[in-house]
Structure 1
């Protein structure tokens, strides 16, 4: 297991690792950052990020990477920015907060994406022990507050899954429609499946609407079908986009 004092140390190591993976030196990386609109990420700055500079006390001090810089560096290095701080597959544990133990990288990854509720005590994978303390004297339980805030993180991937399922079912129904004279049973089955998938998507859209979430744009024919079948609680809440 590797040990890192801070997340900044880990990010610095990953920047160097991916820079070398691409055969880039720090001048190359600085030029790429400038191309992306961050000319302030110079050779000298990248050096202080990667190796630090000696302070008055003789100790090496790294320059921290800001959140907006993390995105630029990730794009410049052709690596998902989150992997710079959570290197899946190469580390057994990564830092979390200063007064708690490191955690498995993929566990922390799921915290960042809202897929899992953080648990700072217990086994290294972060599971099994729920954070039950309340927020303030009369506030909600911490885990409940987190789940409420993280709700959108679960809704959009599910929307995409259901939308794609509808698109596939729609194409199957279109193909079956052309063959309806020779395969009536297949036509009915494909149309039934399309309507079932469309209803699943509409229910999900209604849940998102109730939560006050913006609905990603959809093909107009799918929206018209949902409206025509009275599947939507608030038809005006969604926008159309051109055919794919």
Structure 2
């Protein structure tokens, strides 16, 4: 049986929870929202979000827009997504009206593109989604989701590989000061090649590659590691 709770109800409860956690009253929160450029999120608006306001059809809560969510999250020193998906404090959260609630972390993974939504089965979403197709392309829903979610996996992996390259480069620099170390140099080049292959994947997916340190670009170009050498640009601070 589907829950009557909405995502807006969850957000409202979490706004109040984090406001009280910080010892803020509603005027305090309104002032912080104004400081962030949203003077329209007033005391009265916050009351309406948290508790609703009475009308001819009973109490009606003011909906929280995506723009509101970002401002309220920052005003409450809370990641905005946690206002919608309170990890660790709720057993389930609502998803869509046609489906049962799900475990917050499961929905978190949907929101971040880490997992494919499953609206049937247990609340942890282990069941595979239906293989229904889009009439226009014949592509299955799951395949279409995977395509759209691809950037969500590429950017974190880019940061991980870049950090690995940076550590390897620092080891090479340190060893050169001591007379050189072939193993350190080999490791650096191996890590750099992994980063270059990942950059090629990003370019093929039509994604913008974050700026890199100039010496990394020069090394990748000099060793012909990139399929599209012009796809990388140096950091502006260099």
Normalising by the smaller structure, the TM-score range is: over 0.9
Pairing partner for 1:195 from 165, 189, 208: 189
Instruction: Report the alpha carbon displacement of residue 128 of structure 1 after superposing the two structures with TM.
Output: 2.5
Aligned to 2:149: 150
1:33-72: CA deviation from partner (whole Å, max 9, x where unpaired): 0000000000000000000011103x21100000011000
Aligned to 2:224: 230
Instruction: Provide the C-alpha distance between the structure 2 equivalents of 1:104 and 1:138, rounded to a whole number of angstroms.
Output: 32
Q: How many residues align?
A: 236
Query: TM-score of the superposition, structure 2-length normalised?
Result: 0.96
Instruction: Provide the C-alpha distance between the structure 2 equivalents of 1:227 and 1:55, rounded to a whole number of angstroms.
Output: 66
Alpha carbons 1:220, 1:243 under 8 Å: kept: no
Alpha carbons 1:169, 1:197 under 8 Å: kept: yes
Instruction: Provide the C-alpha distance between the structure 2 equivalents of 1:47 and 1:195, rounded to a whole number of angstroms.
Output: 58
Aligned to 2:210: 216
1:186-206: CA deviation from partner (whole Å, max 9, x where unpaired): x11110100000000000001
Instruction: Provide the C-alpha distance between the structure 1 equivalents of 2:26 and 2:212, rounded to a whole number of angstroms.
Output: 43
Aligned to 2:39: 39
Instruction: Report the alpha carbon displacement of residue 136 of structure 1 after superposing the two structures with TM.
Output: 2.8
Aligned to 1:132: 131
Instruction: Report the alpha carbon displacement of residue 138 of structure 1 after superposing the two structures with TM.
Output: 5.1
Aligned to 2:92: 93
Q: Structure 1: 5+ residue runs without aligned partners?
A: none
Aligned to 1:52: 52
1:105-151: CA deviation from partner (whole Å, max 9, x where unpaired): 01100111111111111111112322311123653100000000110
Instruction: Provide the C-alpha distance between the structure 2 equivalents of 1:175 and 1:242, rounded to a whole number of angstroms.
Output: 26
Instruction: Report the alpha carbon displacement of residue 238 of structure 1 after superposing the two structures with TM.
Output: 1.1
Say which SS state the counterpart of residue 54 (structure 1) adopts: strand
Query: TM-score of the superposition, structure 1-length normalised?
Result: 0.94
Structure 1 stretches of 4+ moved >4 Å: none
1:8-44: CA deviation from partner (whole Å, max 9, x where unpaired): 1110000000000000000000000000000000000
Say which SS state the counterpart of residue 97 (structure 1) adopts: coil
Say which SS state the counterpart of residue 157 (structure 1) adopts: helix
Alpha carbons 1:132, 1:143 under 8 Å: kept: yes
Instruction: Provide the C-alpha distance between the structure 1 equivalents of 2:162 and 2:4, rounded to a whole number of angstroms.
Output: 42
Instruction: Provide the C-alpha distance between the structure 1 equivalents of 2:27 and 2:214, rounded to a whole number of angstroms.
Output: 49
Q: Structure 2: 5+ residue runs without aligned partners?
A: none
Say which SS state the counterpart of residue 28 (structure 2) adopts: helix
